[in-house]
Structure 1
Amino acid sequence: MNDKLLRVGTTYIPVTNVELSSEWYVNKLGAELSYKDEDKAILNFANQSIFLVKSNENQSSNFYDINGVERFSLTFEVNGLSALKAIHKDFTEKEIRVGEIENRGHSGRNFVFYDLDSNKFDVWSELSPTFKEKYLK
Protein backbone atom coordinates (compact mmCIF):
# COMPACT_ATOMS: atom_id res chain seq x y z
CA MET A 1 0.00 0.00 0.00
CA ASN A 2 1.48 3.35 -1.06
CA ASP A 3 -1.07 5.51 0.73
CA LYS A 4 0.41 7.23 3.76
CA LEU A 5 0.19 10.46 5.68
CA LEU A 6 2.23 12.99 3.72
CA ARG A 7 2.42 16.12 5.84
CA VAL A 8 0.81 18.12 8.61
CA GLY A 9 -1.48 20.53 6.81
CA THR A 10 -3.15 22.43 9.62
CA THR A 11 -2.36 23.19 13.24
CA TYR A 12 -5.02 24.49 15.64
CA ILE A 13 -4.02 26.96 18.35
CA PRO A 14 -6.39 28.10 21.14
CA VAL A 15 -6.69 31.87 21.61
CA THR A 16 -8.98 34.04 23.74
CA ASN A 17 -9.29 36.93 21.27
CA VAL A 18 -9.25 36.03 17.58
CA GLU A 19 -8.92 39.66 16.43
CA LEU A 20 -5.94 40.55 18.67
CA SER A 21 -4.23 37.21 18.15
CA SER A 22 -4.54 37.25 14.37
CA GLU A 23 -3.09 40.79 14.31
CA TRP A 24 -0.23 39.61 16.56
CA TYR A 25 0.62 36.65 14.30
CA VAL A 26 0.49 38.84 11.18
CA ASN A 27 2.49 41.75 12.63
CA LYS A 28 4.97 39.84 14.80
CA LEU A 29 5.53 36.60 12.87
CA GLY A 30 4.72 37.68 9.31
CA ALA A 31 1.76 35.33 8.91
CA GLU A 32 -0.66 35.88 6.04
CA LEU A 33 -4.32 36.16 7.08
CA SER A 34 -6.59 34.25 4.70
CA TYR A 35 -9.86 34.20 6.68
CA LYS A 36 -11.28 35.53 9.93
CA ASP A 37 -14.62 35.48 11.74
CA GLU A 38 -15.65 35.73 15.41
CA ASP A 39 -14.58 32.18 16.25
CA LYS A 40 -11.46 31.57 14.17
CA ALA A 41 -8.75 32.99 11.95
CA ILE A 42 -6.90 31.06 9.28
CA LEU A 43 -3.27 32.03 8.81
CA ASN A 44 -0.67 30.81 6.35
CA PHE A 45 2.97 30.72 7.42
CA ALA A 46 5.85 28.32 7.94
CA ASN A 47 4.53 26.21 5.05
CA GLN A 48 1.29 25.33 6.74
CA SER A 49 -2.14 26.55 7.66
CA ILE A 50 -2.61 27.70 11.25
CA PHE A 51 -6.11 28.03 12.71
CA LEU A 52 -6.47 30.35 15.68
CA VAL A 53 -9.58 29.07 17.44
CA LYS A 54 -11.49 31.09 20.04
CA SER A 55 -11.20 29.22 23.32
CA ASN A 56 -11.88 29.71 27.00
CA GLU A 57 -9.44 31.58 29.24
CA ASN A 58 -6.35 29.66 30.40
CA GLN A 59 -6.35 27.25 27.44
CA SER A 60 -3.11 26.66 25.59
CA SER A 61 -1.46 24.16 23.31
CA ASN A 62 1.20 23.52 25.96
CA PHE A 63 1.40 20.33 27.99
CA TYR A 64 3.40 18.99 30.93
CA ASP A 65 5.73 16.04 30.60
CA ILE A 66 6.18 13.26 33.17
CA ASN A 67 8.65 15.46 35.10
CA GLY A 68 6.25 18.40 35.32
CA VAL A 69 8.09 20.49 32.70
CA GLU A 70 5.87 22.62 30.46
CA ARG A 71 6.39 21.64 26.82
CA PHE A 72 5.58 23.20 23.47
CA SER A 73 3.58 21.46 20.79
CA LEU A 74 5.37 22.95 17.76
CA THR A 75 8.95 23.48 16.70
CA PHE A 76 9.66 25.86 13.84
CA GLU A 77 12.86 25.30 11.86
CA VAL A 78 15.23 27.91 10.45
CA ASN A 79 18.24 27.51 8.19
CA GLY A 80 21.26 27.63 10.50
CA LEU A 81 22.54 29.27 13.66
CA SER A 82 22.89 32.73 12.11
CA ALA A 83 19.22 32.62 11.06
CA LEU A 84 18.25 31.50 14.57
CA LYS A 85 20.18 34.38 16.13
CA ALA A 86 18.67 36.89 13.68
CA ILE A 87 15.12 35.71 14.38
CA HIS A 88 15.76 35.73 18.13
CA LYS A 89 16.97 39.34 17.85
CA ASP A 90 13.99 40.29 15.65
CA PHE A 91 11.51 38.70 18.09
CA THR A 92 13.18 40.49 21.01
CA GLU A 93 12.95 43.83 19.19
CA LYS A 94 9.27 43.16 18.43
CA GLU A 95 8.77 42.58 22.18
CA ILE A 96 7.79 38.95 21.74
CA ARG A 97 8.34 36.97 24.94
CA VAL A 98 11.37 34.79 24.14
CA GLY A 99 13.71 32.51 26.04
CA GLU A 100 17.47 32.41 25.72
CA ILE A 101 19.17 30.52 22.91
CA GLU A 102 19.89 27.06 24.34
CA ASN A 103 22.19 24.12 23.74
CA ARG A 104 20.01 21.09 24.47
CA GLY A 105 22.70 18.51 23.79
CA HIS A 106 21.71 17.70 20.21
CA SER A 107 22.71 19.29 16.91
CA GLY A 108 21.79 22.93 16.51
CA ARG A 109 20.42 25.43 19.00
CA ASN A 110 16.91 26.36 20.08
CA PHE A 111 14.88 29.03 21.79
CA VAL A 112 11.25 29.24 22.85
CA PHE A 113 8.75 32.03 22.37
CA TYR A 114 5.16 32.69 23.43
CA ASP A 115 2.11 34.24 21.80
CA LEU A 116 -0.46 36.50 23.54
CA ASP A 117 -2.18 33.49 25.17
CA SER A 118 1.11 31.98 26.41
CA ASN A 119 1.09 29.25 23.76
CA LYS A 120 4.71 28.13 23.83
CA PHE A 121 6.63 27.44 20.60
CA ASP A 122 10.15 26.30 19.84
CA VAL A 123 12.56 27.45 17.14
CA TRP A 124 15.39 25.14 16.05
CA SER A 125 18.41 26.12 13.96
CA GLU A 126 18.33 22.96 11.84
CA LEU A 127 16.16 22.33 8.81
CA SER A 128 15.09 18.77 8.23
CA PRO A 129 17.10 17.08 5.44
CA THR A 130 13.90 16.27 3.51
CA PHE A 131 12.80 19.91 3.54
CA LYS A 132 16.25 21.06 2.39
CA GLU A 133 16.26 18.49 -0.41
CA LYS A 134 12.79 19.36 -1.69
CA TYR A 135 12.61 23.09 -1.20
CA LEU A 136 16.10 24.63 -0.96
CA LYS A 137 17.55 23.77 -4.35
Structure 2
Amino acid sequence: MSKGRILGIAYNIIPVSDLEKASEWYVRHFGFNIRNKRTDNLGLFKDNRPILVLVKSASESRAVFEVNGKKRWVTTFYTDDIISLHTYLVQEDVRVGELFDEGQYGKFFTLEDLDGNLFDVWENHDCELNF
Protein backbone atom coordinates (compact mmCIF):
# COMPACT_ATOMS: atom_id res chain seq x y z
CA MET A 1 0.00 0.00 0.00
CA SER A 2 1.34 3.41 -0.87
CA LYS A 3 1.65 6.13 1.69
CA GLY A 4 -0.17 9.42 1.61
CA ARG A 5 -3.66 8.09 0.87
CA ILE A 6 -6.95 8.93 2.52
CA LEU A 7 -7.89 6.10 4.88
CA GLY A 8 -11.35 7.31 5.87
CA ILE A 9 -13.18 10.11 7.61
CA ALA A 10 -11.86 10.97 11.06
CA TYR A 11 -14.86 13.03 12.26
CA ASN A 12 -17.48 15.57 11.20
CA ILE A 13 -17.91 19.11 12.54
CA ILE A 14 -21.41 19.91 13.84
CA PRO A 15 -22.54 23.43 14.83
CA VAL A 16 -24.56 23.70 18.06
CA SER A 17 -26.04 26.57 20.04
CA ASP A 18 -25.32 25.17 23.53
CA LEU A 19 -22.22 22.99 23.82
CA GLU A 20 -23.14 21.52 27.23
CA LYS A 21 -26.73 20.61 26.32
CA ALA A 22 -25.74 19.20 22.95
CA SER A 23 -22.90 17.08 24.32
CA GLU A 24 -25.16 15.67 27.07
CA TRP A 25 -27.78 14.81 24.41
CA TYR A 26 -25.24 12.91 22.24
CA VAL A 27 -23.77 11.08 25.24
CA ARG A 28 -27.23 10.08 26.49
CA HIS A 29 -28.67 8.90 23.17
CA PHE A 30 -25.64 7.42 21.44
CA GLY A 31 -23.23 6.50 24.21
CA PHE A 32 -20.49 8.80 22.91
CA ASN A 33 -17.78 9.96 25.30
CA ILE A 34 -16.38 13.47 25.47
CA ARG A 35 -12.75 14.26 24.76
CA ASN A 36 -10.63 17.32 24.09
CA LYS A 37 -13.10 19.75 25.64
CA ARG A 38 -12.25 23.37 24.95
CA THR A 39 -14.09 26.65 25.44
CA ASP A 40 -15.97 26.55 22.14
CA ASN A 41 -15.75 22.91 20.96
CA LEU A 42 -15.33 19.32 22.07
CA GLY A 43 -14.81 15.89 20.55
CA LEU A 44 -17.32 13.07 20.74
CA PHE A 45 -15.87 9.58 20.52
CA LYS A 46 -17.26 6.04 20.45
CA ASP A 47 -14.74 4.23 22.62
CA ASN A 48 -11.42 5.36 21.12
CA ARG A 49 -12.80 6.36 17.70
CA PRO A 50 -13.53 10.04 16.92
CA ILE A 51 -17.05 10.60 15.57
CA LEU A 52 -18.05 14.28 15.83
CA VAL A 53 -16.65 17.60 16.94
CA LEU A 54 -19.35 19.91 18.32
CA VAL A 55 -18.61 23.60 17.77
CA LYS A 56 -20.49 26.38 19.51
CA SER A 57 -21.94 28.48 16.72
CA ALA A 58 -23.11 32.06 17.15
CA SER A 59 -25.18 31.84 13.97
CA GLU A 60 -28.10 29.67 12.92
CA SER A 61 -25.92 27.53 10.66
CA ARG A 62 -26.72 23.83 10.79
CA ALA A 63 -25.43 20.58 9.28
CA VAL A 64 -28.30 20.30 6.79
CA PHE A 65 -28.97 21.47 3.25
CA GLU A 66 -31.86 21.36 0.79
CA VAL A 67 -32.29 19.79 -2.63
CA ASN A 68 -35.52 20.63 -4.45
CA GLY A 69 -37.06 21.83 -1.18
CA LYS A 70 -36.23 18.62 0.71
CA LYS A 71 -33.87 18.59 3.71
CA ARG A 72 -30.75 16.47 3.28
CA TRP A 73 -28.16 15.33 5.81
CA VAL A 74 -24.40 15.65 5.73
CA THR A 75 -23.55 12.73 8.04
CA THR A 76 -24.76 9.12 8.16
CA PHE A 77 -24.40 7.08 11.33
CA TYR A 78 -24.07 3.29 11.06
CA THR A 79 -25.81 0.78 13.34
CA ASP A 80 -26.10 -3.00 13.51
CA ASP A 81 -29.64 -2.93 14.99
CA ILE A 82 -31.63 -0.12 13.41
CA ILE A 83 -35.04 -1.28 14.66
CA SER A 84 -33.98 -1.23 18.32
CA LEU A 85 -32.24 2.14 17.90
CA HIS A 86 -35.26 3.68 16.15
CA THR A 87 -37.62 2.35 18.85
CA TYR A 88 -35.36 3.71 21.62
CA LEU A 89 -35.09 7.16 20.04
CA VAL A 90 -38.86 7.38 19.53
CA GLN A 91 -39.34 6.52 23.22
CA GLU A 92 -36.84 9.27 24.10
CA ASP A 93 -38.84 11.84 22.07
CA VAL A 94 -35.99 12.38 19.62
CA ARG A 95 -37.19 13.80 16.30
CA VAL A 96 -36.87 10.74 14.06
CA GLY A 97 -38.23 10.01 10.62
CA GLU A 98 -39.94 6.89 9.38
CA LEU A 99 -37.89 3.69 9.10
CA PHE A 100 -37.36 2.60 5.48
CA ASP A 101 -36.17 -0.78 4.23
CA GLU A 102 -34.55 -0.42 0.81
CA GLY A 103 -33.60 -4.08 0.41
CA GLN A 104 -30.02 -4.50 -0.81
CA TYR A 105 -29.29 -0.85 0.02
CA GLY A 106 -30.14 -1.36 3.68
CA LYS A 107 -32.47 0.21 6.21
CA PHE A 108 -32.55 3.93 6.95
CA PHE A 109 -34.13 6.67 9.01
CA THR A 110 -33.31 10.31 9.67
CA LEU A 111 -33.08 12.14 12.97
CA GLU A 112 -32.55 15.67 14.18
CA ASP A 113 -30.54 16.77 17.20
CA LEU A 114 -31.52 19.59 19.56
CA ASP A 115 -30.31 22.23 17.08
CA GLY A 116 -31.99 20.80 13.99
CA ASN A 117 -28.84 19.20 12.57
CA LEU A 118 -30.10 16.39 10.35
CA PHE A 119 -28.53 12.93 10.30
CA ASP A 120 -29.19 9.69 8.49
CA VAL A 121 -28.94 6.34 10.29
CA TRP A 122 -28.12 3.26 8.21
CA GLU A 123 -27.94 -0.51 8.67
CA ASN A 124 -26.59 -2.76 5.94
CA HIS A 125 -25.08 -6.16 6.66
CA ASP A 126 -23.53 -6.48 3.18
CA CYS A 127 -21.16 -3.56 3.65
CA GLU A 128 -17.74 -3.72 5.28
CA LEU A 129 -17.03 -0.97 7.77
CA ASN A 130 -13.88 -1.14 9.88
CA PHE A 131 -14.10 0.28 13.38
Q: 1:51 aligns with which of 33, 46, 53?
A: 53
Structure 2: gaps spanning 5 or more residues: none
What one-letter code is carried by the residue in structure 2 that aligns with 1:85? I
Q: Using the TM superposition, give the Cα deviation of residue 50 of structure 1 relative to its aligned residue in structure 2, in angstroms.
A: 1.2
Flag the 1:128–1:62 CA change in 2: closer, same or farther, 3 A: farther
Q: What's the RMSD between the two structures over aligned residues?
A: 2.1
* Secondary structure of 2:7 counterpart: coil
1:98-117 map, 5 Å: 98-104=96-102, 107-117=105-115
What one-letter code is carried by the residue in structure 1 that aligns with 2:36? Y
Asked whether the 8 Å contact 1:78–1:127 carries over to 2, the reply is no
Identity percentage of aligned residues: 32
TM-score of the two chains, using structure 2 as the length reference: 0.86
Q: Using the TM superposition, give the Cα deviation of residue 104 of structure 1 relative to its aligned residue in structure 2, in angstroms.
A: 5.0
Q: 1:86 maps to which residue?
A: 84
* Secondary structure of 1:48 counterpart: strand
CA distance in structure 1 between the aligned counterparts of 2:50 and 2:125, rounded to whole angstroms: 15
Flag the 1:43–1:63 CA change in 2: closer, same or farther, 3 A: same
The structure whose residues are more often strand, as a share, is 2
Structure 1: gaps spanning 5 or more residues: none
1:1-137 map, 5 Å: 2=2, 3-45=4-46, 47-65=49-67, 67-79=68-80, 83-104=81-102, 107-127=105-125, 129-131=127-129, 134=130
Q: Using the TM superposition, give the Cα deviation of residue 49 of structure 1 relative to its aligned residue in structure 2, in angstroms.
A: 3.3
The structure whose residues are more often helix, as a share, is 1
TM-score of the two chains, using structure 1 as the length reference: 0.83
